[in-house]
Structure 1
Amino acid sequence: MIERVKLKNWKSHHETKLEFDEGVNALIGTMGSGKSSVMEAVVFAFYGTTPSHNSRDITLDDLIRRNPSQADKAIVEIEFRIGKESYSVRREIERDKGTTHSELRKEGELIEAPSTREVTEQVEKLLGLNFKAFSRAIYSEQNNLDLFLNMRPGTRKKRIDELLDIDRFEDARKNTVKVENNMKKELENRQEALGELEDEIDEEELEELEKEIESKKERIEKLQESLEEREKKLENRNKELKELEDKKEEVEQLEEKKTKLETKKQSIQERINEAEEKIEGIEDPERELEKNRKQKEKLEDKNEKLGKLREKKKYLEKHTEEIGEEIEQLEEEAEEFEKFEELEEELEELEEKTDKIKKKGNSYYAERTNLEESLKTLKETDGDCPTCGQEMDKEHREKVVSERKQKIQELKQKEKELRQKLEDKDERKEKVVEKRDELLEYKSSEDKLKEEREELEEKKEKLQDIVEEVEKLGEEFSEEKLEELEKKIDQLESVEEIRELEEKKEHIEEKLEETAEELEDIDFDEEKLETLRDEISELKEKRSAEKQELKSDKEIVEEKEKRLEQMQSQVEKKHELEKEVEKLDQVLDYVYSYKTALKETQIELRQKFVARLNDLMDDIWTQVYPYNDYYSIRLNVEEDYLVEILDSDNNWISAEAEVSGGERHSAALVMRLALSFTISPKIQLLMLDEPTHNMDSAAVEKLAETLRQNSDNLLKQMFIVTHDIALESAATGKLYRLEKKNTETGLTEVEEVN
């Protein structure tokens, strides 16, 4: 049972909290008041998607509130109970990022987060339903109460099989047949390959090759030992060389560092001299600098405020102009609605012309297809001409083929011209429909015109206030004052520059002393470095010769091992093929048994489900249908799930064609309730959005009375979302009224009635 729903920035809901009880809970409101959004939020909380989002009609960003200002995040949270245990699901959507957090709690303790997929999997296990089953059996979208009743019997059977996952058995059986055929073909291939391998394998050659490889490997081992000793000696010499080269590099780096420091010291002294010249003659330059900076800051604040006011003035002027243009347009629109009937007539005429073009195009297509088929036949014919009966010589064939090709090209051109005409008509239809829809909105132009005029007066008053404030600030600020201050500040900042440069100069002098000391401490011998380089060069030449000899032997071994590996692979492959042939024989026997079992299981499951469903529908029918002219309802398995009602003469008649609208709605409600009982026994829940579509007032009152009196016996909890206030009396749980009182904000307001 669903106990609470909390919405934040969800569609038209800013912050909405709803509590629900057992029995019938009703959400009443006009179209677009945000009542269906509550049910969509329940589905989203459970499964991380909604029917509209799952069918790609909307994106997740469309679920985040846009008015009166665009929100960046939406949060949905529901609390529900299964048996004696309480659970809650919370999901968060961020704009342009999708679902960024999901969590599931049991008795307040976190049991899964933050993965959307893993939370959804846990919810599916708790409810015993996946999204597809919930959205078809539990949640009836707007005007879809009789969804299952309106389906063709065959389609209904397919959809109910999908709800129960029975369709997977048929898919599995078809796949099993494919697997069986593929395995038979694979078995034949394996047996053929096994015979070829037995002819290719030579045992004597295999043994000789193994001996040759062993001999070469012993020689390689000795060469590697010699090479390792030389490598160790070379490694030690390289370490000595590296130490000497590092010392040489260190000396060179220190000399270079010393030169750079001296150059940098000289450059800093020159900059100090230049800076002192700039402030020469100024008494207390630091105090003067602080004073000028404060004056500049005040001028910049005024300039910034002036800029903002000018932008606001520009915006209001533009907005005032736009409102004026919209007022003129609204005055014109009020006169436009008279053209509505003319557009309807033009639309009907366009539909008739479009149908004629399509029929003519289909005729051309059929004629061209026949000609193309006959052209293929003509090219393959050796005897008499199939058209005129003459002897089919080369000249006659070329003539007939040429004539038909020409005719085909003519037909293609005609088809192309018709397609262009059709596109033109479709484009005109779109424009007419668009214009017609616009005209429907013109009815409200007079009220909107009054609002726009009031808004125009308000904007003009604000604009006048801003103009006065701009004039006042303009007298206090000038670019010349600011520019003069900036020049003074730039000159006075030299005092700070001198202080920084003196510190840098002192630091460089310290570095110069450190560098001189480091140079004195380094012990380096250039002659020893050259001697060591000669010795290393000689060691590398000897090592290179041994490596070449080792490489040659390894290549020989590698080639022989490749051949050995190929031969061993053939032997191994032979053994594997023998095992695979035996295993394939066994698996084929199992696949046949499995295929048979799948078909029998599918039939048995369907029969058991329909029997259970019919028992439930029979029990519910007497509680929902108040009259004595029909006594029961069932799904006829033998007629592809045809829905039938038992009349007073004890005859089963079709509920899809032979009964009134009210009886059809009763049958649709009974099917929904029975499916909910059968598919989701854990939660016993049904959600009906606009269930009174196409029902007259008497039928609506009867539905309300039935739900009010029998809801406790029918289902643990039910939700009704409707604009029809007559269904308020059906509520035995919570009753809420939803509306958008403030059209400017577009936010849903909720009032609890009981």
Structure 2
Amino acid sequence: MIFERLRLRNFKPYGDASVSLSEGVTVVHGLNGSGKSSLLEACFFALYGSNALDGTLDDVITNGTEETDVELWFRHDGQRFHVTREVRTYGDRASTATCTLETDDGELLREGATDVRAFVTDLLRMDAEAFVSCAYVKQGEVNELIEASPADRQDTVDDLLQLGRLEEYRDRAGEARLGVGDVLEGRRGALENLDERIERKESRDLTERLNALESERAELDEEIERFESEREKAETTRSEAEDTLAAYEDRRAELSELETEIDDLETAIRETEAERREVESELADARERREERATELSEAVAAADVEDGDPETVAARRQTLSDRESELREELLDARDDATEAKNRAEERRETAADRREQATERRERAEELRGRLSELQETLSERRERRETAADRRDELRAQFDDAPVAVGEAASLRESIQTELSQLGESIEDTRTDLKEARSAVDRGEELLAAGNCPECGQPVEGSPHVDALDERRDRVEQLESELSALQDEREELRERRDRAEALRETERDLEGVEDTLSLLDEQIDETDERVTETRERIDEHCETADRLESEAADAEADAEAAADDAETARERVADCNRRLQSLEAATERLDRIDDVREARREAAAEVDRLEERRDGLAGRNDERRERLTEKRQRREELAAAVDDEAVETARERLSNAESYIEQVDRKLTELRERRDEVTNGIGAVRNELDELDELREERETLAAEVEALETLREETAELEETYADLRGELRRRHVDILEQRLNETFDLVYGNDAYSHIELDDQYELTVYQKDGQALAPEQLSGGERALFNLSLRCGIYRLLAEGVEGAAPTPPLILDEPTVFLDDGHVSRLVDLVEQMRGFGVAQILIVSHDDELVDAADDLVRVEKDPTTNRSSVERLEAASLADLRPTADD
């Protein structure tokens, strides 16, 4: 993956900034606090949004502004992408306003912060945390791993290798286990409480209480039924008395009503006679209006130039005018359509001409941009070919070292192992010989002491006449022989050590040769890729130029078509004006015909009004005749009702009604008492039944709760097993990572310290590091100098980078390697080792390395330099890129 370009607006200390990035080593150079690290954070933010920030969205907006834009162009796996994020402040908080991901052609792939982040995570096969942990060696981190305590170092490396999440999952499982335990204790307490409640309810004899209450309610029902029967009889007597009294009241009411109706009828007859006279007057006026409308109709017929005002004649003339109007309107619509079509065609062709010319200009501009890019690619191609020639020369030099060597290339390690084996065996022989020599010398010394004392060195008897005196001479000869053998063995060991050193030197040459071969392979791939891009760029330039010529020709044709269409539009507008004039004449003739219809309709309405008033007059007369007949009938009914009233029967009915109402009142009081008692009993029955239902529910609830307790006990056991599984899995994954990380770390360590006194590194399962000197002595990293510790830790972080990058399936090429202020703890003698480390990472296939530093010495390692400066007056940062060709003036010369 390669970062190609970054554009910022109001991002942290940057107002408006843009910088291009390329493959190779780029040093982001500037004073502390100038804004170098903010450039890297902008790249991470563009890819992953707020997930890649240490703070919030509010922190990325420049102070004094309310919005920020970040754009990043990057290449990955042969494709180019462009991501844009815009953040706006709404009220008191900032949020993402726009987020898009496009291809290099402008095709929209994703839109929205969540979708873009998900797409990038899937594309790179890394989320924000994994990407930053893999690619970014943060400022000040270079000494952190060594100086940290064992526990802190273990947590830090686990987090970098994404193993910390397993500890988080284990903690969650532990919390879940404790939570399940809390819930289980609560459920057990609830189960005990249910058992106590069930026992209390079972001790209250609820079934016997229910039977007694139901018996009492049956007796109350019988007594209530008897009283209700007697009350119905009393209600019958009261009803009969009420009917008699009601009939009496009905007759009195009917008499009163008849008197009122008679008065109303007499009043209505008088009012209707007055209304009929008013209708007679209106009728005379209506007849006069009817005659006036007939005269107006004759005048309208004469003005319209028709034979008569007959509706058929008028309709025929109207149809003739309507047909002509339809023809004219169709002609008008055609003329308007022609005018609009011609006008639109002219505008469209003018827009097409402008668009084609604009596209042609853009094509030529893009061709110019591609020519600039072509020049850059050609320069890059030349530089890579030069680098390849240099690497090829270096390879030949290294291979030449094997011309007079005892082994061929690739066999130095085997030779060293065989020599080391011989040395080990020879060392054992030397130790055995030394032991024998020590024993022989001890025997000679002891013999000489006995001989000096006059005793035999063998048996300790007096030496005079002893046959063993000559054995001392033999032992002295043995000592001389062993001393000669020991000297020969030591000489042989020195010779073997010289051969081993020669084999080790050849092995170092082999390693250098492997690195050069890897570099040559990478350069060959890069040269082929750059050569293809040069050819592709030339083809695209030719394509843009040809397209621009074609677009300009199309623009000229479109302008000619626009002029012709404008002439057609003017002709069509003249036709529209002529049609409008003829339509106005037809509209005037149609209005005169409308006048005939309006007057004829008014005459018809006047005649209808006459008929209506005549009908109303006759209706009023007929209604009064009917009222007079009804008035006679009501007067006769009034006389009949007056004769039918019986006062004695009415008095008897009133007495029976009073007695019945008194009895009903007494019965109602008794029924109220009985019903209240029945309600109390019924409520008691309901309460007992409710308690029985509650008892059943409590038993069911207990069964459910007992099952829950059993399930929770099982769940607690399972969460404990899960917690243990996460711990075992973390340990197993750490062991696997340690083996690979140790291998990667030693590959880097060989380059950095291979020619010094250090041999190799061992890494145990707790990430405890041990450095071995070439004499076999083990050293803790804390025993190294400050510069060595810093360089050692950089080697460790580069090893972690390679492990993470190689572990991302299909993520080729690897993400950029970013070193933030790596020289903080390095002395002058170790900066060159850092440069070697950077070159080695390039040899491992890291296409882009970004080094953020204020150190001028790292300029020598840069292919490109990005200079960051901050204006002290505005507190705003600016960025400028210096390409490889411009760095020669900045690098120190041999004379300097």
TM-score bracket relative to the smaller structure: 0.3 to 0.5
Superposition TM-score, scaled by structure 1 size: 0.47
Choose 1 or 2 for highest CA Rg. 2
